[in-house]
Amino acid sequence: MNINCKGTLVNLSTPKVMGILNITPDSFFDGGKYDSSSAIINHVEKMLSEGATFVDVGAYSSRPGAKHISEEEELSRILPVIKLLIHEFPSLLISIDTFRSKIAEQCVNLGASMVNDISAGNLDSSMFATIAKLQVPYVIMHMQGTPENMQEKPVYDDVVKDVLYYFSKKINKLHSLGVNDIIADVGFGFGKTVTQNYQLLKHLDLFKNLNVPTLTGLSRKSMLFKPLEISQNEALNATTIANTIALLNGANILRVHDVKQANEAIKIVKLLNKN
């Protein structure tokens, strides 16, 4: 199971880690932490030394209730960072966390090699055509509503079946446009109750039927720390447990704040599967 990142083939039959680089002032866990060149470089160096295959760069906060920012502001935040990363780490596989096709295109033209879209094309009707033109791997995530309203009253007939059907339609459309490398992310916490999140985690293995790799983003989310009555800062252990469950259910990429611990989970599950 390979994906082609602008000429670099990445084999996802062994799960990989995507480290998170948020350059937003208001992201839910690490907002405002990486606001200088040195802080960004040090963080990326740390993630790479701990075994990250990809680094996902986001300049638009998508936490529940997040403030909407303009395309111009997102561009002004992200383009200098992409230039910096390409200069410092020429072979780095950069994923762009954006739902805007203009930003995706400009970042890929600068050297990014993947697009991670929380809206799966729903918030920008030009995104699918742009991905078809760029021919880079494309992460499609399921979200009910928008970041501003997604957690108000999420409703499903059957969350697992509804999300599977959503992806099947999106994947068929993308295939018809000539997009080959599609990755599905069920969107934990994006328009789902705690119960619905755990139904998706429990049945994540069913998403193998889509015949595309799956990305899982569970890192330090409220579905983990709220039921345990702890803070985000205390949620690393819960994150590792949830990531391990996801791996046992077939996850191919773990998108995380804590790369070392995610890679340890991958190694343990790999040992388990050998025996």
Residue 70 CB: number of other CB atoms within 10 A?
A: 9
* Backbone dihedral angles phi then psi of residue 249, each to the nearest 5 degrees: -100, 15
Rounded distance between C-alpha atoms, residue 256 and residue 52, angstroms: 9
Rounded distance between C-alpha atoms, residue 250 and residue 258, angstroms: 20
221 is catalytic: yes
Choosing from 83, 169, 255, 274, the catalytic residue is 255
Tokens of 195: 């119960």
Rounded distance between C-alpha atoms, residue 60 and residue 70, angstroms: 9
77 is catalytic: no
Rounded distance between C-alpha atoms, residue 115 and residue 10, angstroms: 15
Choosing from 77, 169, 221, 270, the catalytic residue is 221
DSSP 118-151: TTTTTT-TTHHHHHHHHT--EEEE--SS-TTTTT
Mapping DSSP to helix (H, G, I), strand (E, B) and coil, where does residue 275 land? Answer: coil
Rounded distance between C-alpha atoms, residue 169 and residue 162, angstroms: 11
Mapping DSSP to helix (H, G, I), strand (E, B) and coil, where does residue 163 land? Answer: helix
Task: List residues with catalytic annotation.
Answer: 221, 255
